Amino acid sequence: MPHASPSLPALLLAALNAGAALAGASAPPGAATGIAGLPRLEAATSLLVVAPHPDDETLCCAGVMQRVVRAGGRVSVVWITSGDGSELALLLIEKSLLRQAAKARDLAARRMREARAATALLGVPAAGQLFLGYPDGGVLGLLTDHRVRAYTSPFNGAAAVPYAQALFPGHPYTGESLERDFAAVLERVRPTLILAPTPLDTHPDHRAAGLLTIAAATRRGMLPQVRYWIVHGGEGWPTPRGLLAGVPLTPAPRMRGVTPDVFWLEPAEEDRKLKALEAYDTQMRVMAPFLLAFVRTTELLASRAQP
């Protein structure tokens, strides 16, 4: 006989038990103490969050970002792409059944505005909101087949950064150009802590952003300053879906073998994370239950990229 699906109370209990066992603590420390295997968060902290797309930074790092700001430190976010390849958003928001470059660029402009609004709520100043404008869905290809030969985005139709709001408009869609631009961000921000996607993420843009970060940090001797988070962590994860106050985030199946450290959010931080996420209207309209599943009492950060 087929097994019955777990009830919502059972899923909630499992989530609470897993979170408590993982954390080994029930309340977040103060703003300036060492947390979750992180260096001390203080006025001297310069945090850089590496986001493949607008909204990723809020999903996994909003609590840490707020805590750094509260401690008097600096927070910057670098978005590798501007999210112009979200086909469901193009269909529902831009009313485009076919791929049209102008519609994709309009979507990117809208998502960049949302990103600025969301991260401003988390305390990120305009000077720390950094867009690179590389091709959504094509970042891994830049690091492999298109290191020197320009890639043309099937969404925005460009072979170079087409966005005036980006740091380096007109830079070619090549791996070498992306690496140079990312290195320029590191030089500009001089981070003491970097939060980046793990290469274990199932989304190719996320894997590529993790690999890009690891390579650049290794060259600069900054790898010990990198911590890793995950968005696409396995089918059905996070569980349960939707907004559930007071429930910790459970470890992702894709991170099996990598024990993450637990960053506990204070209630006000969790509330502001939700408000920041709601600023992403384009994405909330197409995948709200998935996005809201990251608004939890904890954020999980690993000090290793893989087992």
Per-residue pLDDT, 30 = 43
Examine residue 9 and state whether it is found in any structural domain, yes or no: no
Q: Which residues of 169-196 are buried (b: 16+ CB within 10 A; e: fewer)?
A: eebbbbbebbbebbeebbeebebbbbbb
Examine residue 24 and state whether it is found in any structural domain, yes or no: no
Examine residue 133 and state whether it is found in any structural domain, yes or no: yes
Examine residue 2 and state whether it is found in any structural domain, yes or no: no
Number of domains observed in the structure of the chain: 1
Examine residue 36 and state whether it is found in any structural domain, yes or no: no
Per-residue pLDDT, 13 = 37
CB 25 within 8 A of CB 15: no
Local confidence pLDDT in tens for the 307 residues of the chain: 333 333 333 433 343 344 434 433 444 444 444 466 889 999 999 999 999 999 999 999 999 999 999 999 999 999 999 999 876 656 665 555 556 899 899 999 999 999 999 999 999 999 999 999 999 999 999 999 999 999 999 999 999 999 999 999 999 999 999 999 999 999 999 999 999 999 999 999 999 999 999 999 999 999 999 999 999 999 999 999 999 988 999 999 999 999 999 999 999 999 999 999 999 999 999 999 999 999 999 999 999 998 9
CATH for 61: 3.40.50.10320
Examine residue 231 and state whether it is found in any structural domain, yes or no: yes
Determine the Cα–Cα distance for residues 173 and 155; give it in Å rounded to an integer: 13
Per-residue pLDDT, 245 = 82
Examine residue 197 and state whether it is found in any structural domain, yes or no: yes
Examine residue 4 and state whether it is found in any structural domain, yes or no: no
Determine the Cα–Cα distance for residues 252 and 273; give it in Å rounded to an integer: 20
Per-residue pLDDT, 86 = 76
Q: For residue 166, what are the domain limits?
A: 41-301
